[in-house]
Chain A
């Protein structure tokens, strides 16, 4: 890795490059609007889950299914990945593309770890607990809510990975910077949704 000063000398990027152009500012604003809609999307999914969480149809209940250590591990991984994506944006603001790339790689790696844990968890339920999508209203609501979040994580991983590839070709510019910034906002939002999932689905499931 080159020294930060050498990197900064290579190109002159404005402070907060994500807001340097009107297109960039529009992108950030438009993405926030989209997240407002996403809040309603997950709100409706949470509402569905809360309405059906005790409808177990003689299948496994939340209390029987969930293992807190696994959830705690997943939570910790996602929380750390949120922090690393903050570091990525800080590196971007300092115009240090190599550092930015490294932090994004760490974020993507942690996201993959979270996803693997989730797939492992689901497969355990399906194979050993006879708890599938069709078992009960509770199971349908559980898989749909947590699965929607998992799909968001998967999409985020692909997205950030594409951005890493793009930056390796185009570098950090006023075109790529808003994309990176927006993907970081998205990643934090995924983490925020997970905070509610581990609270409402797993911990409340244990409390009953």
Chain B
């Protein structure tokens, strides 16, 4: 770990006869399999894409600031809304969720590592290369322009003639592979790596929501994998899945997309629920109210999340039976979600509440997310949805649940766990400024959009005529968007200033930490726990504190710790997939150079890419990773 005081002499042979090769600088980050470093990689990459998506949002709002504006043309606007939605969901918030999961979950369950450190790295690199591929579209002939849902027939080669949608299908395919790998890794980690005594019903809520989220990822992502394959085949090799003229059916795409897409929004929000369930009890100095009902509600939301996809399709004409069915199932989700809201409120009730920055975000989350939930129930009513469909009311709704829900949750989590990840406390003063500018800007941007929608403004229009009562509200919305941008800049400033301060955060910097991650140094040593802790109840660390202990009771004597080796292979595999994806995408193009044309048109570029990937897999299989050991005498030197 670069920033930890822990240094080993590379030439010194370690125990068990394995010598360990230590990389430094960039190579250290490319080859790392340490979940804490992968967390930081996810955070940097996710933050970068989040910035791109946010910049696209600002451009969209500038275009809509006044009627008949000509800041952007219609084509650019379509590309911007498509890329804003796609980038934010797949490349912005999901990696930040994975960043927090990686940084926190092994610590919370008392594990030294994840179940599959190698796959963990592979998941990150495939996500990153998928995201890069998608964003290359801006400089390689035009971004996708068929909306983040890429509805057919608009997204078929008949109507989307550039490579834009190909970048969408291939880019998301590769990024989605990374997400699926990450999901499987966290499922296995939580099932097998929990410390002694930590039964499922003693796990922190964030570990529970991560577990359930990973299960949703496992069952939802294969559906979009197939959907993207079908669309790719239609566009590149002339298949007929969605071509009406040859017997295909565009509705099929909508179904497949939303069978994935609706669970996807629960993939986004459940981790936020988990974060809020950690932050609120900590700063109320009270145990989470209704822990088991929280667990039950999470499972129920996950199950119902798969049963509601067609509420995105009420207006396609599925008929009254289907519409009624999906209306009812959608409204049912309000029940477990309501349970959660009340549990958070009752956790604070009678607690000694401290309004630190993380808690401000958590407390701000509750009413904001509830508003998004309420408009969700409104949209669930099929007859009303015929009015709301494809208007700004929908835009307001999903920004309330995703930004007002998830992003506030992520801010809470980042401020809360920042000292654990980096050993430095973010400035509380700047944090509070971030909160107030961001949440005010947020409501200013999106609250008025409810009314724009009800008055009939459609989503995805690149401009509108004056004097339809849209003018003032759009201006207000754009001002709000800039205020959110200011909030983000304050947050980045906070990060920058904090990074220049000494890393002196205490192990338990909030002083009321309840879970295992606060029982070890900030940032934790490479092996997390010198001795695996013994868990004696919910909120394991708090339980020890109330018994008068300052640290966890160990479950094992001090011993040599086995660590996995750093490796280049996950990076290489992802590079291979990236090359193969690009090669396949351009396989039907004409090129000026004969040689380049020969390479692409005969799928040779694809073959080279796949060869790199499968070759790396073969290397991984043939050469066993013996790992290396950290010996007890080296542990003793640590400040624990």
Binding site for B on A (CB under 8 A): 22, 25-26, 29-30, 33-34, 36-38, 40-41, 44-45, 47-48, 51-52, 55-57, 133-141, 144, 162-163, 166, 170, 175, 179
Query: In the bound complex, what is the Cα–Cα distance between A179 and B220 (angstroms)?
Result: 27
What distance in Å separates the Cβ of B95 from its nearest Cβ neighbour in chain A?
20
- B240 contacts A29, CB within 8 Å? no
Query: In the bound complex, what is the Cα–Cα distance between A37 and B216 (angstroms)?
Result: 10
Tell which of A48, A52, A55, A140 has the most Cβ of chain B within 10 Å.
A140
B226: nearest residue on chain A (CB-CB)? A44
Query: In the bound complex, what is the Cα–Cα distance between A44 and B276 (angstroms)?
Result: 34
What distance in Å separates the Cβ of A94 from its nearest Cβ neighbour in chain B?
24
User: Which residues of B, 215-262, contact A by the 8 Å Cβ criterion?
Assistant: 218-223, 225-227, 229-230, 233-234, 237-241, 243, 246-249, 252, 256, 259
Confirm or deny: B433 has a beta carbon within 8 angstroms of a beta carbon on chain A.
no
Number of residues from B at the complex interface, CB < 8 A: 40
A29-B192, A48-B226, A137-B241 provided; 8 other pairs, C-beta below 8 A?
A30-B187, A36-B218, A37-B218, A51-B249, A52-B249, A55-B249, A135-B240, A166-B621
Given contacts A44-B223, A56-B247, contact A133 B237 (CB under 8 A): yes
Residues from chain B with Cβ under 8 Å of A133 in the complex: 233, 237-239
What distance in Å separates the Cβ of B569 from its nearest Cβ neighbour in chain A?
15
Tell which of B221, B222, B237 has the most Cβ of chain A within 10 Å.
B222
Contact of B621 among A36, A40, A162 (CB under 8 A): A162
What distance in Å separates the Cβ of A185 from its nearest Cβ neighbour in chain B?
15
What distance in Å separates the Cβ of B429 from its nearest Cβ neighbour in chain A?
45
- A134 contacts B240, CB within 8 Å? yes
Query: In the bound complex, what is the Cα–Cα distance between A7 and B191 (angstroms)?
Result: 36
Q: 12 A-B contacts, Cβ less than 8 Å apart?
A: A30-B184, A41-B223, A44-B226, A48-B230, A48-B241, A52-B249, A55-B247, A56-B247, A133-B237, A137-B246, A140-B230, A144-B233
- B218 contacts A33, CB within 8 Å? yes
- A134 contacts B222, CB within 8 Å? no
- A41 contacts B225, CB within 8 Å? yes
Confirm or deny: B624 has a beta carbon within 8 angstroms of a beta carbon on chain A.
yes
Residues from chain A with Cβ under 8 Å of B384 in the complex: none
Residues from chain A with Cβ under 8 Å of B116 in the complex: 26, 30
Confirm or deny: B150 has a beta carbon within 8 angstroms of a beta carbon on chain A.
no
- B241 contacts A141, CB within 8 Å? yes
Residues from chain B with Cβ under 8 Å of A170 in the complex: 624
What distance in Å separates the Cβ of A183 from its nearest Cβ neighbour in chain B?
11
- A37 contacts B192, CB within 8 Å? no
User: Which residues of B, 179-199, contact A by the 8 Å Cβ criterion?
Assistant: 180, 184-185, 187-188, 191-192
- B222 contacts A40, CB within 8 Å? yes
Confirm or deny: B321 has a beta carbon within 8 angstroms of a beta carbon on chain A.
no
